[in-house]
Each structure stands twice: as C-alpha cells, then as structure tokens.
C-alpha cells in the first residue's frame, strides 16, 4: 500500500508537467523550440509563424509551459526570447513516476 501512496504523490507532483505535455498545440511549440530554437531562443512571432497559432494562443500556451518549467525566457530590451528549459528536474520526476508505475505493473503480472 505504501507504493500506491508514494505513486499518488508522484502523480500530484507531475500533474502540471503532464497537463503541459498533453496538449497538441503545446507539443507543437515544444517541437518548434527543440527544432528551431537556438541558444538565443525564439520570439512569439517566430513561434506563431512556425505553429500557425494566433499570437494570443501562443502566449497562453507559453505561460502554461513556463508554469510547468518546460520553457523559460529572457528579455533583450522589449523583446522576449523563449527557449526549452534545460533544467531536467521535472523530466526526472516524470521518469521516476513512470518507473514506479512499471514496477507495480510488473509485480502485479508476476502474481497472476
């Protein structure tokens, strides 16, 4: 039972990250940042062109991605440049969660 309580906590910790990853439009932004993002990052207008989303939609999705710590930005004057966050803490949490799910599933299949 302790494994399930721990797993429940891990799901709660990863919830924002999972929500951020689960949307196709945010996936498109992530893919664009990974593909075209240089060290400087990309501006909203560049992301708008690449993803074919409206400027308000890109800004909305970037906020969710920033809140989930997937994306960060830096400013140069009045321009913001967005880039894929290189802090892998949230990714490691997700990997741990998935490893625990797989462990519980394999233990369950061994008893059947």
Mean pLDDT of the chain: 89
Half-sphere exposure of 14 (CA within 13 A, CB side): 20
> In terms of pLDDT, which residue wins out, 31 or 4?
31
For the chain, the C-alpha Rg in angstroms (whole number) is 17
Nearest to 71 by CA among 21, 22, 11: 21
Select from 70, 79, 88 the least CA-distant residue to 61: 70
104 exposure class (CB count in 10 Å sphere: 0-12, 13-18, 19+): middle
- Among 19-28, 57-66, 91-100, 102-111, the range scoring the smallest mean pLDDT is 102-111
- pTM, 2 dp: 0.81
């Amino acid at each position: 039972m302790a494994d399930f309580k721990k797993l429940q906590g891990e799901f709660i910790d990863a919830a924002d990250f999972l929500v951020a990853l689960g949307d196709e439009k945010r996936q498109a932004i992530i893919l664009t940042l990974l593909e075209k993002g240089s060290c400087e990052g990309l501006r909203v207008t560049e992301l708008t062109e690449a993803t074919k989303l409206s400027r308000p939609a890109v800004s909305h999705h970037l906020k969710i991605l920033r809140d989930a710590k997937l994306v960060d930005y830096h400013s140069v004057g009045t321009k913001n440049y967005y880039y894929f966050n290189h802090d892998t803490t949230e990714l490691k949490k997700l990997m741990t969660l998935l490893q625990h799910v797989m462990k519980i599933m394999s233990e369950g299949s061994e008893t059947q």
